[in-house]
Amino acid sequence: MHNMKIIFIGFMGSGKSSLTKLLGEKMQLPTYEMDTMIVEKSGLASIPEIFRQRGETSFRDLETEVAKDISKLNEGVISSGGGVVTKEETMKYLKQGSILIYLTAPFATIAKRIGKDTNRPLFQDTHKAQELFTKRQSLYAKYADFVVSTNDQTKQQVLEKILERIK
């Protein structure tokens, strides 16, 4: 199953990073974390640093650049950032030659998984995060090739479902 490019989309805490690792191992494909690539490109130390020193708009521009780099890959499993769907240009790059899998979970599950995480500037206030969550649902759905729920099941079970869909 080579020459496949699979990109996970979904809200923060939906399981994109975990499933990227699992699927990459299973399919023996290289894995990429957009957030890590953004931090590397920025020359700064972390995502909160980028938000603090340069603001969200600059962060989104870096994200678009990383999406462009990803559009040139022939294969791999990629974990995107939860906000990629807010910018059409970013999604234009991410859609190129790839399968977009939308991982879902109810907000309560997500909030429980994330807990207190100082590395996520847009998840510092639960109420605001919930609003963002609600606002983004239709965007993830719009871009997704298919949707997989991660609620109330193990990562292995989710992995099996994904393998079923892409084989």
- Which residue, 5 or 16, has its beta carbon nearer to ligand S3P? 16
- Which residue, 35 or 159, has its beta carbon nearer to ligand S3P? 35
What CA–CA distance (Å, rounded) separates 126 from 134? Answer: 12
Residues 6+ away with beta carbon under 8 Å from 106: 151
What CA–CA distance (Å, rounded) separates 41 from 81? Answer: 15
Supply the minimum distance, in Å, between the C-beta of residue 100 and ligand S3P.
14
Supply the minimum distance, in Å, between the C-beta of residue 73 and ligand S3P.
19
- Which residue, 76 or 82, has its beta carbon nearer to ligand S3P? 82
Supply the minimum distance, in Å, between the C-beta of residue 152 and ligand S3P.
20
Alpha helix ranges (H) inside the chain:
16-27, 34-42, 47-54, 56-71, 88-95, 107-114, 126-143, 155-166
Instruction: Give Cα separations from 73 to 3, 10, 32 (angstroms).
Output: 9, 21, 10
Supply the minimum distance, in Å, between the C-beta of residue 47 and ligand S3P.
5
Supply the minimum distance, in Å, between the C-beta of residue 83 and ligand S3P.
3
Any idea what DSSP says for residue 119? T
Residues that bind ligand S3P (CB under 6 A): 12, 16, 35, 47, 81-83, 120-122
- Which residue, 27 or 78, has its beta carbon nearer to ligand S3P? 78
Any idea what DSSP says for residue 81? P
The neighbour count for residue 136, using CB atoms within 10 Å, is 17
- Which residue, 2 or 127, has its beta carbon nearer to ligand S3P? 127
